[in-house]
Amino acid sequence: MIGRLLLGAAGAAVLAGMVATAQAKSAGSPLGALQLNGHWVCTQTPEGGTFSEDWAPMFHGLWLRATDSAKGTVTAEHTVSYNKASSTWVVLDAFATGSYDVLHATTSSPALIAFHAVYPQQVLSVTFNRVSPKRYTIDVNGNVEGKKVQAHNDCTKQ
């Protein structure tokens, strides 16, 4: 269960970054058209189970925050932003256990973003794939909170 929640949190972090950009008020944001605000339900494989991600803009829409929860318990928070000048995505993941990750990506594509961890360890990759306006997937591969994870999350807007 903890592994599933951690994996979901890592996936949420990636999504949070994309959502933050989608809600950014600055012109030219590559995710501006995604409109990921709101409530999403995600199914995770291979472990199974579901978790929720609730997205909301912060700092006047320049960042987006996602709160992950499972069975009424908050498991992680993710904040994401996009720097137009350097075409760089940044995701900050914070887990209920006190651990954290910082993820980075350099792409302008709003449909496919490949993140990699830059701190505290560089052993995590997370790929966001926008399938449709009401569906996205997140693939996680690497270490989350010291545990090897490989998972696929399929999220649908509710």
The DSSP string of 96-120 is TTS-EEEEEEE---SSEEEEEEEES
Radius of gyration of the chain (CA): 14
Q: How far apart are CA 132 and CA 136, in angstroms?
A: 7
Q: What DSSP element (H or E) covers 74? A: strand 73-83
Identify the residue whose tokens are 């270490």.
143
Both tokens of 58, joined, read: 């912060």
Say if CB 70 and CB 77 are below 8 A apart.
Answer: no
CATH number, domain 2-157, options 3.30.360.10, 3.40.50.620, 1.10.10.60, 2.40.128.20: 2.40.128.20
The larger pLDDT score, comparing residue 108 to residue 32, is at 108
Domain ranges of the chain: 2-157
Q: How far apart are CA 130 and CA 132, in angstroms?
A: 6
**What's residue 110's pLDDT?**
73
Q: For 122, which DSSP code?
A: S
Count of Cβ atoms closer than 10 Å to residue 18 Cβ: 29
Confidence tier at 33 by pLDDT (50, 70, 90): low
Which residues contact residue 138 at a Cβ distance below 8 angstroms, ignoring those fewer than 6 apart? 10, 11, 12, 14, 15, 42, 126, 127, 128, 129, 152, 153, 155
Range list of H helices, 24-152: none
Both tokens of 91, joined, read: 């995701």
**What's residue 60's pLDDT?**
81
Both tokens of 113, joined, read: 């973003």
**What's residue 55's pLDDT?**
92
Task: Give percent above pLDDT 70 in the chain.
Answer: 77
pLDDT of 97-143, one tens digit each?
Answer: 999 999 999 886 778 889 999 999 889 999 999 999 899 999 999 98
